[in-house]
Amino acid sequence: MHCIKKIRGDLTWIGANDRRLAMFEGVYSVPTGVSYNSYLLTDEKTVLFDTVDKAVRERFLENLDEALNGKPLDYLVVQHMEPDHSAAIQDLITLYPELKIVCNEKTLQFIKQFYDFDTEARFNIVKENDTLNTGTHSLHFIMAPMVHWPEVMVTYDSTDKILFSADAFGCFGALNGAIFADEVDFAKDYMDEARRYYTNIVGKYGSQVEALLGKASNLTIEMICPLHGFVWRKNINDIVSKYALWSSYEPEEKGVMIAYASVYGHTENAAEILASRLRDRGIKTQMFDVSVTPASEVVSAAFRWSHLVFASTTYNAGIFVTMEAVISDLCAHNIQNRTVAIIENGSWAATSGNLIRSALEKCKNIHFIENKLSLKSGLKKDQLSKIDVMTEALIATFATFVPAQETSKSTQSNTAPSTKIDQSAMFKLSYGLFVLSAKEGEKDNGCIVNTVTQITESPLRISVTVNKANFTREMILNTGEFNVSILTENTPFRIFENFGFHSGRDTDKFASFTNEMRAANGIRYLSEHTNAIICAKVTESLDYETHTLFIADVTQAFVITSEPSLTYQYYFDHIKPKPQVPKEGKKGFVCKICGYVFEGENLPDDFICPLCKHGAKDFERG
C-alpha cells in the first residue's frame, strides 16, 4: 500500500525507507536505516525528481501511482545517477512510455552505461541555468559536479523557492514517520548522522561543495528537499552553516578525538590515561576503539574535533590493520587543519608511529605534536611522565586555537570564493540603515543603526556605534557577537517600526518573522529586504558617553540579493512617512523620526514620542 507525504501545495514525497540495509554503498553501516527520497510535482505537467534504490522500488512505484492520481508522468528529472536514486528508471520507461527524461550530458552518458534503452528523443538535455516551465512552476537547473558524482545537478523551483538538492544536505537514518527536520530534535538525534553522511559521502569534495553553496547563496531558499533524510523548511541555516564549516575542513569543536588500535589492551591503556589527563584539565575527549567502531564514525568525529590522537600497535611490521584503514580513509577524505599526536606500540620493532605520521603528512596543514610516545609492550611507570608531556603539548596548542566559526583567520588567506566570508558583502555598506541583531541565551533582539563601517580588510574588521539606550547594545556587550543585515531600498516602513520604535526589553521583535534565519553564530538575521549579511565578533568596545563603539572581526559574510543598499537619504525621501501637518490653526511639533504630531504650544522637555520612543530633541515645530 502506498505511503506518501504532502510536502507543500502540489509537491509530494513518494520515497521509501530501508531499515534492513546493513551497509550503505557496501561500506557505511546504517544502524538506523536510510531513506530514499523522491518528489513528485503535479503541476500542469507532472515532474518526478529522481527515483529510488531497487530495495524499495515496489513501494515507490505504488506511491507514484497514488500521487499521480490518474495523471500521466511527463518528466523525470535525473539529478544523480547513483543507483540508489536511479534504480527505477527502466520501470518508469515501461510504465510511462511518453516520459521525457531531463538530465545533463554527463547524466546521459551514465544512463547509457547503466541501461540499454534507446531513443535519444526521450531526453531533454539541460545545462547550467536552463529552465523548464511546467505550468505554474519554473525549474532552474544548477550543476553541482562531484557533490557527489560528476553528473550531479540540483534544481531550484523559483515559484515555491525550493531547492531539490540531490545528495547535498542529506542524512543517514530512516524517517520514522516524520518528513521535516523541524518535526524531530535534529541537533540531538540526527546531527551526528548528518555529519557522518557528509564526511563519508562528499567529505573529499570540499571545494565542490563550497561551489554549490556559493551558487545557493544567490537564491532565496524556503525549503531544501534532499535525496536522503529530512526536508528542511525551518532553520535552514542550521544545516547550511554546517556544510559551510565541514566543506572548509575547519574543526567544529575544540577537543581531542583519541582513536586506538590495541591487541592486548596495552596501547588502549596509554590512550585511556591520556584521555583521563586531558579531562582533568577540562579538555573534551572522545575515544574510539577502531577495531570495534566503524571507520565512517571515526572519520566523522575527526571532522568534528580540532585535535586527533592516533594510538596503534605495530602489526606485520606496519600499522595495525583497523587503524591503517582509518588513516587511509581520513587521507582519502582530505582531512586538513588538525593537530595530531601519535602513540605507537611494538614489542620488538615499533613502526606504526612513523607510518601514521608519513601518511598524514600528505594531508594539508596537519600540525604534529613532536615526541610521539613509543611503547614496548606495556606502559611503564617511568613513561607516565611522557603522557604528561603529551598532555601539556596538546593543551599548549589549545591556548591559541579558536574554532573556525569564531574567527575570520582561516578565511583571510582564502583567495577562492568563500562561502564563509564573501568580501563582496562589504561593498553593500553605505551610509545606510541596518538591522543590528544579537542573541543572549534564548533571547533574540535587534535594532536599527546607521553606523556600520568597514575599518580594515586584513583582518576583515568593521565598527558599529550603538546608543546606550538600546537593549541590543547591552546584549552585544554581554555576548560579544552580532549580525548586521544590510537593508535595501525595498524595505517597508514597518521594518523600521518593528526594530526602531520599540524596546526589545518588553517585546519580541522577531515574533512576526516566520522565516527563522540564523547565521553560523546562531544569531538571527533578516532574509528579506536585505542584500547582505555580515556576522562579527567584538574585539574591542569603546565608551563614548551616549554611545558604545564596537570594533569587531567579521566571522561570516554573504550576499543575498543584488538590490541596491538603502541610503539614509533614500529612506528620508521614499520610505519615511511624510510628516503630518498640524490641523489648521493648531500649533504642533512633528517627530523627525516617525512623523508623529504633538499638538500644543509647548513640547515638554521630557516628552517621549508614543510611536518611536524618541525624545523631545527629535521633534521640530510643524
Question: Nearest distance from residue 293's CB to ligand FEO, in Å?
Answer: 23
The span from the CA of 110 to the CA of 87, in Å, is 13
In angstroms, the CA 35 to CA 67 distance is: 18
| Residue span binding ligand FEO (CB under 6 A) among the ranges 79-87, 430-438, 484-492, 565-573 | 79-87
CB of 153 to ligand FEO, least distance (A): 13
Q: How far apart are CA 165 and CA 223, in angstroms?
A: 10
Nearer to ligand FEO, 88 or 487 (CB): 88
In angstroms, the CA 594 to CA 120 distance is 64
State whether the Cα torsion 447-221-209-398 is positive or negative. Answer: positive
Rounded Cα gap, residues 40 and 76, in angstroms: 9
Interacting stretch for ligand FEO, rule CB under 6 A, among 78-86, 107-115, 294-302, 437-445? 78-86
Decide if residue 148 touches ligand FEO (CB under 6 A): yes
From the list 67-75, 80-88, 232-240, 274-282, the region that binds ligand FEO by CB under 6 A is: 80-88
240 contacts ligand FEO (rule: CB under 6 A): no
Interface region with ligand FEO, contact rule CB under 6 A, candidates 82-90, 310-318, 416-424, 495-503 = 82-90
CB of 167 to ligand FEO, least distance (A): 4
Looking at 10, 18, 43, 167, which residue binds ligand FEO (CB under 6 A)?
167
What is the CB neighbour count within 10 angstroms for residue 513?
A: 17
Contacting residues for 39 by C-beta, under 8 A, at least 6 apart:
7, 11, 12, 13, 14, 15, 48, 49, 50, 164, 225
Task: Name the grid cell of 110.
Answer: 551514465
- Looking at the Cβ atoms of 171 and 221, the one nearer to ligand FEO is 171
Bond preceding residue 610 cis, omega within 30 of 0: no
Calculate the CA 60 to chain-centre distance: 30
CB-based contacts of 143, cutoff 8 Å, min separation 6: 104, 127, 128, 152, 153
CA distances from 406 to 419, 480, 535, 555 (A): 15, 11, 10, 6
- Residue 227 binding ligand FEO, by CB under 6 A: yes
> Contact with ligand FEO (CB under 6 A): which of 5, 59, 85, 333?
85
Q: Of 21 and 452, which CB lies nearer to ligand FEO in the complex structure? A: 21
Q: Compare residues 85 and 195 and give the one whose CB is closer to ligand FEO.
A: 85
Where helices occur in 364-424 by DSSP H, the ranges are: 384-398, 409-412
N-to-C CA span, the chain: 73
Sequence-separated (6 or more) residues with CB below 8 Å from residue 59: 2, 3, 16
String marking each residue 533-552 x if it binds ligand FEO according to CB under 6 A: --------------------
Cα angle 600, 604, 605; round to 5: 145
Question: Does residue 333 touch ligand FEO according to CB under 6 A?
Answer: no
The H or E element containing residue 500 is helix 493-500
Q: Check binding of 193 to ligand FEO (CB under 6 A).
A: no
- Residue 82 binds ligand FEO, judged by CB under 6 A: yes
Kindly tell me which residue out of 137, 228, 333, 338 binds ligand FEO, with binding defined by CB under 6 A.
228
Question: For ligand FEO, which is the closer residue by CB, 157 or 167?
Answer: 167
Residue closer to ligand FEO by CB (options 102, 201) is 201
| Residue in the shown chain whose Cβ atom is closest to ligand FEO | 82
Q: Count of residues binding ligand FEO (CB under 6 A)? A: 8
215 contributes a contact to ligand FEO by CB under 6 A: no
Q: Rounded to the nearest whole angstrom, what is the least distance from the CB of residue 327 to ligand FEO in the complex?
A: 24
Per CB under 6 A, 80 contacts ligand FEO: yes
Residue ranges in contact with ligand FEO by CB under 6 A? 80, 82, 84-85, 148, 167, 227-228
